[in-house]
Amino acid sequence: MATRTDRQAGAARAGAGGRLFGWLDDRFNISPLIEFMRHKTVPVHRHTVWYYMGGVSLFLFLVQIASGILLVLYYKPDEANAYESVRFITTKVSFGWLIRSVHSWSANLMVFFVFVHMFSTFFTRAYKRPRELTWVTGFLMLAMVMGFGFTGYLLPWNELAFFATKVGTDIAGVVPFIGNAVKVLLRGGDDVTGATLTRFFAIHIALLPAIFTAILAVHLIFVQRQGMHEPDYVQKLPPEKKSLMPFFPNFLLRDTLLWLMVLNLLLALAVFFPWELGTKADPFSSAPQGIRPEWYFMFMFQTLKLIPAHVLFMDGEVLGIMAFMVAGLAWMLVPFWEAKRRPGGRARPITIIGVLAIVYMLAMTIWGYLV
């Protein structure tokens, strides 16, 4: 039940806003919630900048929803019409070129910022108790974002996308036991066809958004409930030495500022580096030179290319994929197996592992493009 002081504080808000608040509070008792939010603070220290990365990822997701909904008003998800409908959007629909390029660029930026967000929480060890599940839900979302990228890439039905999907689903099919079933499930058949397109479309605009939104909500609730993680050196400070900023309105306003700049960046990219249409996919033509997955899959793709065809008793590709799956699982479970204490001032093993991971991914990605 709202206390008198809460109510009074609420009613003290002038005008229509206050009356609306009163009306809602009467029915839903939101005053305690508002009070809780009012007192939220964000630690200020030299790593505060990384706190914004999650918000930017969220912003980009919202941009994707908005631009995606606009695109789906004109896009046709069947083999005969997909390519032409995208061409229609980019040439005939007013500002269609803008919405489409924003959607494509925002997808790439979102993957980038999600990785940055993930690594920044990793290196500040924000995944430690009590935030293990925040990390796990975050990792699940990272995987889904890459799934968004993979399914969305096929939708314009151009040559590169068609063959990239073929190669990608072929790789998925290599997993032992369940691989073929997964491949057929993804493709809607044995080959990449119009059925694949329809299926990917459904996954991209319905299945993934639903699951992602649910997990995102949980992730955000965790963050709001637990507050921001403080790096070790900040935790050791006495309370009066800690610098804090209120979440409302300071942090939020700063967030808005950053979001505005990111939006402008997106517009700049859309105008000066518009996304290509490509040539329409022809399932009967042979694969063009240089099929590549999108950049965020490149490190895996390049790794698979480097593994020899047979390693001991295992097929090289299978080994590679299993290795990545094990690595992914280990990464997701980091909060549970990472050593609790580490004496001395030397770098923790986990930090070294993280740095190695980044170096590996960067190196493989660059290598993939050089070849």
Partner 1 sequence: MKLNRRDFTRILLGGGLLGWLGSALYPVVSYLKPPKIPEGNVQSVKAGMVADFAVNTAQIVKFGRKPVILLREDNGEFKAFSATCTHLECIVQYRGDLKQIWCACHNGLYDLHGRNVSGPPPRPLDEYAVNVVNDEILVSRMA
Partner 2 sequence: MRTQPGCRVFMVSCLAVTMLALSLAARLAMAGDTQAEPDASAAQEAVDNCVACHTENDMLPAGHLDADVHMQPGLSCAGCHGGDPTSDDQEIAMSKAKGFRGVPERRDIPAFCARCHSDIEFMRRYQPRIQTDQLSQYLTSVHGHKLAQGDQKVAECASCHTSHAILPASDTRSSVHALNVPGTCGKCHGDADYMASYGIPTDQFDKFKMSVHGVALLENQDTGAPACNDCHGNHGATPPGTTSIGQVCGHCHVNNMQYFSDSRMGHAFTERGFHGCEECHGNHDIHKTSDQMVGTGDKAVCMKCHKAGDKGYVSAGQIYEHLTGLASVYAQAENAKQEVERIGMDDVEIGFLLQESHQSLIQARTLVHTFDPDRVKEKTDEGTGKARSALEAAAAQVKDFHVRRRGFGMATLFTTVLVLALFLWIRQMEAK
Member of 260, 306, 326, 356 binding partner 2 (CB under 8 A):
260
Of the two residues 271 and 314, which places its CB atom closer to partner 1 in the complex? 271
Q: Which of these ranges, 79-87, 106-114, 220-228, 329-337, lies near partner 1 under the rule CB under 8 A?
A: 79-87
8 A C-beta contact, residue 60 and residue 113: yes
Which residues in the 215-254 window bind partner 2 by CB under 8 A? 245, 249-250, 253-254
Given a contact cutoff of 8 angstroms between Cβ atoms, the answer to whether 176 and 101 are in contact is no
Smallest gap, in angstroms, from Cβ of residue 253 to partner 2?
A: 5
| Distance, CA of 92 to CA of 85 (rounded, Å) | 10
By the rule CB under 8 A, 49 interacts with partner 2:
no
Under a CB-based contact definition with an 8 Å cutoff, are residues 143 and 300 in contact? no
What is the contact mask toward partner 2 in residues 277 to 296, using x (rule: CB under 8 A)? x-------------------
Task: Name 280's bridge partners.
Answer: 158
Asked if residues 109 and 145 have their Cβ atoms less than 8 Å apart, the reply is no
Minimum distance from CB of 93 to partner 1 (Å)? 6
Cβ proximity to partner 1, 96 vs 168, nearer residue? 96
Among residues 80, 311, 356, 359, the one that binds partner 1 under rule CB under 8 A: 80
- Kindly state the smallest distance separating residue 81's Cβ from partner 2, in Å: 16
Residue 81 interacts with partner 1 (CB under 8 A): yes or no: yes
DSSP state of 310: E
Among 20, 69, 178, 257, the residue binding partner 2 under the rule CB under 8 A is: 257
Examine residue 130 and say whether the peptide bond preceding it is cis (omega within 30 degrees of 0).
Answer: yes
Q: Is 286 in the site for partner 1 (CB under 8 A)?
A: no
Go through 99-126 and write b for each residue having 16 or more CB atoms within 10 A of its CB, e for each that does not. Answer: bbbbbbbbbbbbbebbbebbbbbbbbbb
Q: Could you say whether residue 351 binds partner 2 (CB under 8 A)?
A: no
Residue 54: name the closest of 102, 134, 113 by CA: 113
Asked if 18 and 12 touch (Cβ cutoff 8 Å), the reply is yes
In terms of CB distance, is 39 or 92 closer to partner 1? Answer: 92
Q: Which is nearer to partner 2, 84 or 191 (CB)?
A: 84
Q: Is 6 exposed, middle or buried (0-12, 13-18, 19+ CB in 10 A)?
A: middle
Q: Which does 268 bind (CB under 5 to 8 A by kind): partner 2, partner 1, none?
A: partner 2
Verify binding: residue 70, partner 1, rule CB under 8 A: yes
Interaction of residue 329 with partner 1, rule CB under 8 A: no
258 alpha-carbon distance from chain centroid: 18
Shorter beta-carbon distance to partner 2: residue 190 or 276: 276
Q: What stretches of the chain adopt beta strand conformation (E)?
A: 41-44, 243-246, 310-311, 314-315
Applying CB under 8 A, the span of 6-14, 27-35, 136-144, 261-269 interacting with partner 2 comes to 261-269
Site string for partner 1, 243-282 (x = CB under 8 A): -----------------x----------------------
Quickly list DSSP for 199-222: HHHHIIIIIHHHHHHHHHHHHHHH
Tokens at 217, concatenated? 């909500």
Q: Which two tokens stand for residue 303?
A: 């790794």
Task: Single out the segment in contact with partner 2 by CB under 8 A; choices: 9-17, 170-178, 201-209, 268-276.
Answer: 268-276
| Tokens at 195, concatenated | 């059925």
Q: Pick one of partner 1, partner 2, none as the site partner of residue 244 (Cβ within 5 to 8 A by kind).
A: none
CA proximity to 276, closest of 164, 156, 192: 156
For the window 97-116, what string marks contact with partner 1 as x by the rule CB under 8 A?
A: -xx-----------------
Q: Give the residue among 336, 329, 327 at the shortest CA–CA distance from 360.
A: 327
* Residue ranges binding partner 1 (CB under 8 A): 70, 73-74, 76, 80-81, 84-89, 92-96, 98-99, 260
